[in-house]
Amino acid sequence: MIRIGFIIGLLLWCTTTQAQQRPHYSQYLQNMSVLNPAVTGLNKGMDLRLGVRSQWQGLKDAPKTGYVTFSTPISFGGDMANYRSSDLGVSEPVTKDDMYDYTASMPHHAFGVLFLNDKTGPLNRVTGNLTYAYHLAVGERANLSIGVGLGASRLGLNSSALLFEEEGDPTVGGGGEINKYLPDLNAGIYFYGPTFYVGASMQQIIKNSVAFDGNFNVGKEVAHYFVTVGNQFWINNNFSVTPSVMLKVVNPLPKAFDLNLKFSYNNKLWIGGGYRKDDAFFGTFGFSVANIVVLGYTYDYTTSNLNTVSTGSHELTLRVLL
């Protein structure tokens, strides 16, 4: 008989096998590239970001996610060959006065990488992507980028953690780690300026089978669609408020959304919160040091039926601009 902890985890996975298969992120605003490859190379210089998320604390075998992204604009070919990478991309306005001085980046290429590790009980997905984006200037104060991420995932099942009534159940083989390697393809588009952004992306374009046994073909990946919109409003020269929303479409689930509100001082210190439909309320805060190192933390208060066994979720992000 399968142990109770794994039943909960397996039910969560089986539910998401036909629905939500990608991790939740409460701090996606701090690392939009986990959702949209078109954000690759948006900022000046090299951009390194790391994040960890512990979902549903108190629930045995609950999801744990870690990720690393790196991107940089690249100057090569034609007129771009005469520019340094640090001349390309944009810098976020720190004050309202900076907003008026904001100019669009010159058209440029950008490359990056993404590594993601997502573990739920005995199931573990490791994904590696190479990302590319091209940023085109639209007028003097806006850019439009189109991006793609291509790589592979290793979906692993630790069958030794499973206990069956019949030893050596053929559904998962004879025990030990069972791995399945899958291609991964994502794409997106992003329109942005000094105070606004609008993005759309699609993940898991290739709908791979996720069955671990050739005779068991029920599980299959489904496409995930994301739409993100946000705008920063300056209260005075130093303080701003940024409302934003993310719409998520994963058939056959109902459409889901995140609502966010962020209050910021000079884009160096911020506090905010949000609501994820039928899942959680969350609060977040963060700060930057010399506009080079940025730290952020979010706590989710679970509002679904899991709140009877979970004390919430924690997420921590680190960003380093080189």
- Assign residue 115 the CATH number of its domain: 2.40.160.40
More confident residue, 305 or 48: 48
Q: Which domain holds residue 68?
A: 4-321
Question: What span, in angstroms and rounded, lies between the C-alpha atoms of 308 and 61?
Answer: 16
- What is the pLDDT at residue 277? 87
For residues 74 and 84, the answer to whether their CB atoms sit within 8 Å is: no
Evaluate if residue 83 carries a pLDDT over 80: no
Q: Following DSSP, what letter does each residue of 120-162 receive, concatenated?
A: ETTEEEEEEEEEEEEEEEETTTEEEEEEEEEEEEEEEEEGGG-
pLDDT of 195 > 90? The answer is yes
User: If you average pLDDT over residues 51-58, what whole number do you get?
Assistant: 89
* 158 or 166, which is more confident: 158
pLDDT at residue number 78:
54
User: 19: pLDDT confidence band, cut at 50, 70 and 90?
Assistant: very low
Mean pLDDT of 53-82: 82
Give first-to-last CA distance, the chain, whole Å: 52
234 is written with which tokens? 């300056």
Averaged pLDDT, 267-274: 93
Count of the separate structural domains present in the chain: 1
Higher-confidence residue of 302 and 18: namely 302
Instruction: Quote the Cα angle for 251-181-152, to 5°.
Output: 75
Greater confidence (175 vs 135) lies with 135
More confident residue, 269 or 83: 269
Query: Span 295-322, mean pLDDT?
Result: 90
Distance from C-alpha of 282 to C-alpha of 297, rounded to nearest angstrom: 10
**Residue 258 · residue 35 · CB < 8 Å:** no
CA dihedral (92, 34, 146, 98) in degrees, to 10, reads: 0
Cis peptide upstream of residue 243 (ω within 30 degrees of 0): no
Q: For position 175, what pLDDT does the model report?
A: 59
Average pLDDT (97-121) is 93
**Does residue 128 or residue 162 have the better pLDDT?**
128
What mean pLDDT is predicted for residues 130-150? 96
Lowest mean pLDDT among 19-23, 142-146, 182-186: 19-23
Q: Which amino acid is at 95?
A: T
- Residue 60's pLDDT band, with cuts at 50, 70 and 90, is confident
CB 110 within 8 A of CB 149: no
Q: How confident is the model at residue 274, as a pLDDT?
A: 93
Phi-psi region of 303 (alpha: psi -120 to 50; beta: other; left: phi over 0): alpha
**256 Cβ contact partners less than 8 Å away, ≥ 6 residues apart:** 247, 248, 249, 250, 276, 277, 278, 279
- What is residue 5's predicted lDDT score, i.e. its pLDDT? 42
Read off the DSSP letter of residue 43: B
Give the integer Cα–Cα distance in Å for 186 and 205: 6
Looking at residue 93, its pLDDT comes to 92
Give the pLDDT confidence of 197-211 residue by residue, as tens digits. Answer: 999 999 999 888 776
Q: What pLDDT does residue 318 have?
A: 95
Worst-scoring range by mean pLDDT, 75-79, 178-182, 302-306? Answer: 75-79
